[in-house]
Amino acid sequence: MKTVVVTGAAGFIGSNIIKGLNARGVNNIIAVDDLTQGDKFKNIADLQILDYQDANQFYNLFDKNYFGAVEAVFHEGACSDTMESNGQYMMQNNYGVSCQLFEACQKQGARLLYASSAATYGASQNFTEDPKNELPLNVYGYSKLLFDQHLRQLLGTQFSKAIHQVAGFRYFNVYGPREQHKGRMASVAFHQFHQLKKNGCVQLFGSYDNFAAGQQKRDFVFIDDVVAVNLWFYDNPQAKGIFNLGSGKAQPFNDVALSVVQALTATKLSLEEAVNKGLITYIDFPDALKGKYQSFTQADLTQLRAVGCQHSFSSVEQGVSAYMANLQNL
């Protein structure tokens, strides 16, 4: 039986993909990560894998076909810190490594399903997978965009039919279990859970960019939906290209906060009631984020639907409720 590789295996999305594979009986998985941050092991301790490989050795070994027949690689490994300013490190880690992995997959006949990012859109107000909409605000977004551009050129050539499946997913704001190691980069739902537990209230940014307090909107997508779409592509090797992976519906940060409050207080408070009770509070928008912040994102799912993926996504209310139950049971 061929093996499956998951890079970034002890990370948020990678570990959930392994969980999803395990649920369908796939355990012959090579997990690849860098466990310098040792507590990330908790994300894979309850999962079934065939082998673990350190990221610093894996890519060169994979180049040499060291692991034999590999069916597919779920490439989730990357530096995802949007505040990282070391461009050389970011480009090598996110772009260079991805190019190396792609070439090795093509030589070996392995399929590549990889993590791109909605950060490729940056300053744009349009979120279709079109070069004119790609305006990254930071080097992280650019490192993801450059690899997308590289593949877009290859898939647009006369040789595209000979290219083994490669699909990139522009993740929007993903939240859910197994993200506790991410620190400041964890989702707002995660931080709000702990804020409410510790301080009795959650904090949101005040008015900014012509949006009222807490009304900046993002496409929040539950991790179970992200896994489901990845596995749909795993089941459909004919599907190639670059695809948005979000719910397709922008919702304000106020919706997330209110869902957290409702779940943890077991009430159906309205937003106004939650604010009046001091359960939701607003702080001044940070100067450090001005001009670098996406106040609105919403995945256009036209291309995803066009290849046949008809997955139905959770709303913020559904996803956050499930997530809060998970966090309370830890």
How confident is the model over 269-280, as pLDDT tens digits? 999 999 999 999
Q: State the catalytic residue, choosing from 95, 114, 140, 171.
A: 140
> Is 89 within the bounds of a domain?
yes
Same domain, 101 and 26: yes
Choice among 52, 182, 249, 293 that is catalytic? 182
pLDDT tens figures, 192-241: 999 999 999 999 999 999 999 999 999 999 999 999 999 999 999 999 99
Q: What are φ and ψ of residue 87, in 5° steps?
A: -65, -35
Evaluate whether residue 327 is within a structural domain: no
Decide if 140 is catalytic: yes
Taking only the tens place, the pLDDT of each residue in 167-199 is: 999 999 999 999 999 998 999 999 999 999 999
pTM: 0.95
Indicate whether 255 belongs to any domain.
yes
The maximal CA–CA distance of the chain, rounded, in angstroms, is: 62
Residues 44 and 193 in one domain: no
Please tell me the total count of domains within the chain.
2
280 and 146 inside one domain: no
CATH number reported for the structural domain that contains residue 93 in this entry? 3.40.50.720
Co-location of 141 and 83 in the same domain: yes
The reply to whether 32 and 159 lie within a common domain is yes
Q: Are residues 113 and 205 in the same domain?
A: no
Residues 237 and 260 in one domain: no
46 and 169, same structural domain?
yes
- pLDDT band for 155, please (50, 70, 90 cuts): confident
89 catalytic? Reply is no
Cβ-contact 202, 281 below 8 angstroms: yes
Domain range for 269 is 180-217+251-289
